[in-house]
């Protein structure tokens, strides 16, 4: 059983019972990891709201161009996600996360600089998104592979719930705070807050002193390590031969094609600010109220797993975002704020509960030595559809109109449950497995 900060507790005398793990909040390493995660998430929510507003208002982007900006940020997962996983099974994961945070801060700083020099444009926003996304690839894969070694496998679901709660709180406060800030300062200056949050996160991560097993550094000498192509192939084979991992990857890939990072990232801002006539402040208010659903998902996921069973929770949570988009597509200018708020709440509840459950399940069934490659392989599949979805969503909205495009997105979102429904190793699960399947 995991002891303090994820270290393995061993009995000092024969027959002595193993030590119980310390509460997560009393583990210094987890406290630093959670603090870094929380600060960074609040900054990220500012950018997620401000960048589309900036593209639509300051640059005059069309829905299609807005899709390209969103696609550029997630394109690196498709291009370098697999090699990143192979490298991160050899590199120090904490050090990679620190460097990635610093890199993202520098990339975002280019937006206010471009604004000051009158160089702000769609290509510049695409370039900033791509560079920031490149660092995010390495950060996110390292982050998920790093956590089990910091807290120990037995505390991974609880740790994920706390991290997801922070993300949910940031989603709740972020749009409203962004809308308020936009009333006082220009959009490019708001992005400086996100850049600062990444620097603070890097400093906090630098204080973590975790066990050697958490860093992920490969103990083998370079000559004894497998070629990168072999390591990548091993990660992909592990994911696609494991029925539960394969189902999770396919379901998430289809959902992301249509979701907030995919088609909806281009359609929602254009629909709300254009067709519904909302101001950035009113849109921020609606999303803030709706994102309270994310907090509910983070707070009650563990309880729902006990009541419904893990498989049923995954199925229900996977359906909720599609239902939320269906409601969003019915919004009219007169009822825009409450409709957007309720739709956002349904979407946020489903995403949060699903993420906690599916990430914890993936970590639970994967051996430590395969964590980074598993995460990279899954991320390659599920994040690889984001740029395709963002570009397709923007194009579809420009061709057929934003409301019909939302109906299509809702249908794709609902279909994403099928891989889980058809895989008994997921749908019949009652609880998280105790040990990974080596």
Locate 322 and state its tokens.
């599609």
- Whether 399 is in a domain gets the answer yes
pLDDT bucket at 103, cuts 50 / 70 / 90: very high
Mean pLDDT of 54-80: 80
CA gap 278, 227 in Å, rounded: 53
- Whether 4 is in a domain gets the answer no
**For helices 63-88 and 228-241, angle between their N-to-C axes, nearest 10 degrees:** 110
Lowest mean pLDDT across 10-24, 153-167, 214-228, 308-322: 10-24
Q: Is the dihedral of CA 192, 69, 413, 276 positive or negative?
A: positive
The closest alpha carbon to 23, from 4, 1, 37, belongs to: 4
**Regarding predicted confidence, which is higher, 180 or 339?**
339
Residue 342, pLDDT > 80, answer yes
Tell me if 108 sits within 8 A of 47, measured CB to CB: yes
- Whether 74 is in a domain gets the answer yes
pLDDT score for 224: 45
Domain hosting 278: range is 23-211+229-427
Residue 117, pLDDT > 60, answer yes
- Whether 15 is in a domain gets the answer no
- Whether 219 is in a domain gets the answer no
Mean pLDDT of 106-128: 87
- Whether 218 is in a domain gets the answer no
pLDDT score for 286: 86
**pTM reported for the whole predicted model:** 0.68
- Whether 220 is in a domain gets the answer no
Residue 339, pLDDT > 80, answer yes
Phi-psi region of 309 (alpha: psi -120 to 50; beta: other; left: phi over 0): left
pLDDT bucket at 336, cuts 50 / 70 / 90: very high
The closest alpha carbon to 396, from 59, 67, 60, 55, belongs to: 67
Q: Which helix or strand (DSSP H or E) is residue 147 part of?
A: helix 122-151
- Whether 177 is in a domain gets the answer yes
Percent of the chain with pLDDT over 70: 85
Dihedral angle, C-alpha 180, 140, 241, 430, nearest 10 °: -60
pLDDT in tens, 349-393: 898 889 889 988 998 888 877 877 887 788 788 888 888 888 888
Q: What is the CATH number of the domain that holds 292?
A: 1.20.1250.20
Tell me if 121 sits within 8 A of 58, measured CB to CB: no
Number of domains, the chain: 1
pLDDT bucket at 437, cuts 50 / 70 / 90: low
pLDDT in tens, 121-139: 889 988 988 998 888 888 8
Mean pLDDT of the chain: 81
pLDDT bucket at 328, cuts 50 / 70 / 90: very high
Residue 6, pLDDT > 70, answer no
CA gap 117, 109 in Å, rounded: 13
How far apart are the two ends of the chain, measured CA to CA in Å?
18
pLDDT score for 183: 65
CA gap 254, 413 in Å, rounded: 7
Lowest mean pLDDT across 3-7, 260-264, 302-306, 403-407: 3-7
The closest alpha carbon to 398, from 126, 66, 32, belongs to: 66
């Amino acid at each position: 059983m995991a002891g303090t900060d994820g270290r393995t507790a061993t009995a000092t005398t024969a027959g002595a019972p193993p030590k119980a793990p310390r509460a997560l909040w009393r583990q210094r390493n987890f406290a630093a990891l959670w603090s870094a995660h929380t600060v960074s998430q609040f900054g990220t929510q500012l950018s997620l709201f401000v960048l589309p507003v900036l593209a639509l208002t300051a640059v005059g982007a069309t829905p299609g161009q807005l899709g390209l900006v969103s696609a550029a940020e997630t394109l690196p997962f498709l291009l370098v996600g697999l090699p990143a996983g192979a490298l991160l099974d050899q590199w120090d994961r904490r050090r990679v996360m620190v460097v990635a945070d610093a890199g993202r801060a520098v990339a975002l700083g280019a937006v206010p600089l471009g604004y000051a020099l009158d160089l702000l444009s769609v290509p510049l926003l695409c370039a900033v998104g791509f560079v920031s996304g490149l660092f995010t690839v390495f950060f996110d894969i390292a982050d998920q592979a790093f956590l089990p070694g910091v807290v120990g496998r037995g505390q991974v679901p609880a740790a994920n719930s706390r991290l997801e709660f922070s993300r949910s709180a940031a989603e709740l406060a972020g749009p409203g705070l962004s809308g308020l800030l936009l009333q006082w300062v220009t959009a490019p200056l708001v992005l400086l807050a996100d850049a600062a949050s990444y620097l603070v996160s890097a400093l906090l991560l630098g204080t973590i002193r975790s066990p050697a097993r958490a860093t992920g550094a490969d103990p083998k000498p370079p000559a004894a390590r497998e070629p990168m192509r072999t390591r990548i192939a091993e990660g992909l084979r592990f994911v696609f031969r494991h029925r539960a991992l394969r189902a999770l990857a396919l379901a998430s890939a289809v959902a992301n094609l249509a979701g907030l990072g995919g088609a909806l990232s281009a359609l929602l801002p254009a629909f709300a600010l254009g067709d519904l006539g909302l101001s950035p402040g009113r849109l921020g208010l609606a999303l803030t109220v709706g994102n309270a659903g994310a907090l509910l998902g983070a707070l009650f996921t563990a309880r729902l797993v006990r009541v419904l069973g893990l498989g049923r929770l995954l199925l229900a949570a996977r359906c909720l975002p599609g239902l939320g988009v269906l409601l969003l597509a019915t919004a009219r200018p007169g009822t825009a704020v409450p409709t957007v708020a309720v739709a956002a709440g349904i979407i946020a509840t489903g995403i949060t509960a699903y993420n906690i459950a599916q990430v914890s399940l993936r970590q639970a069934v994967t051996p430590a030595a395969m964590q980074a490659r598993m995460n990279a392989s899954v991320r390659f599949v599920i994040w690889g559809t984001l740029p395709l979805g963002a570009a397709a969503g923007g194009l579809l909205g420009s061709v057929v109109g934003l409301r019909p495009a939302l109906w299509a997105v809702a249908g794709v979102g609902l279909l994403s449950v099928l891989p889980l429904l058809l895989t008994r190793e997921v749908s019949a699960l009652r609880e998280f497995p105790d040990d990974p399947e080596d």
